[in-house]
Amino acid sequence: MAKTKLALLSGGVSSEREVSLNSGNQVFEALNKDRYDITRYDPATDIKQLVKDAKDIDVALVLLHGPYGEDGTVQGLLDLLGIPYQGAGVLGSAAAMNKVASKRLYRHAGIPVPEYIVLNAGDRVDTYALTEQIDLPVVVKPACAGSSVGMTIVKRESELKKAVHKAFEHDDCILVEAYIKGMELTCGVIGNKDAKALPVIEIVPGKDHEFFDYDAKYLPGATEEICPARIDRHLTAQVQEIAVKSHHALFLKGYSRTDMLLSKGSLYVLETNTIPGMTATSLYPQAAGVAGYSFTTLLDELIDLAMEKTKG
């Protein structure tokens, strides 16, 4: 049987380039070479070559994070080239990447989110008025960035302008969001029309990390990740239901991972990742492993879902 010609995209130009390259390296090693004829592309340098090769590519595996990779731009290019790819299309990718758009869609679907205020570049920043609307502490973050890039927890009004400035370095639209202290949970989803939830993971940032920030995500040993999460069966079912509901609310396909907080018995959705980290020890593959997928069979499943998506 002829091998499937697979384009593996990693790298890109966002602040998460190194994470993407690491995912690409580990995925390349895990892919079944008897099943796939793999060509690697880095969109930072190889877009012209990808376009040139498009007619000979059967499917793409996109492992790009952040802007120009997870936001619908590369997905749109692949659509134009007629190349199937895993995960969300242009609409879902763009909606999930923009935290303002996703929060509005969550709320429309009845999914609980923390209270928030949107600021745009050029807006007058009245720190007193902001703290009157949402009590301190608050979380300040860019609307379109991943891996907690540009994010700050603000505990005093005097720190607010600095945090706003930091967030605006990464985007021209930012959120000031109510800080909710609680258990950090994340739940993956797999499937197209029949999407189902994976086991829930509990995230316990180390003592040097107040929240699951960039370093807590990627420094070895910085975070304890427990799967299945230490919550009861009823709460597990709630988390999984919200993860699937979030997946559909954002028009996603293939797979996703939704991050939540559990505080005083209530769940709050923070965001949904359309291209979760895909090293063998990343959160999504961890949960898939507990569900019975090896890293290699998980990749096979995502590629099969990509091919199915184009037929549906």
Burial of 220 (C-beta count, 10 Å sphere; 0-12/13-18/19+):
exposed
Cβ atoms of 119 and 138 within 8 Å: the answer is no
Rounded to the nearest 10°, the torsion over CA 207, 213, 219, 225 is: 70
Cβ atoms of 19 and 10 within 8 Å: the answer is no
Cβ atoms of 77 and 52 within 8 Å: the answer is no
Residues serving a catalytic function are 16, 147, 218, 257, 259, 271, 273, 277
Cβ atoms of 9 and 64 within 8 Å: the answer is yes
Fill in the amino acid letter for 242. Answer: I
**What is the full DSSP assignment across 173-210?**
EEEEEE---SEEEEEEEE-STT-EEEEEEEEEE-TT-S
* Max CA separation in the chain (angstroms): 67
Fill in the amino acid letter for 226. Answer: I
- Which residue spans within the chain are E strands per DSSP? 4-10, 36-41, 59-63, 116-120, 138-142, 152-154, 173-178, 183-190, 196-205, 223-226, 255-263, 266-273
Rounded to the nearest 10°, the torsion over CA 122, 128, 130, 135 is: 160
In whole angstroms, what is the distance from residue 231 CA to residue 261 CA?
12
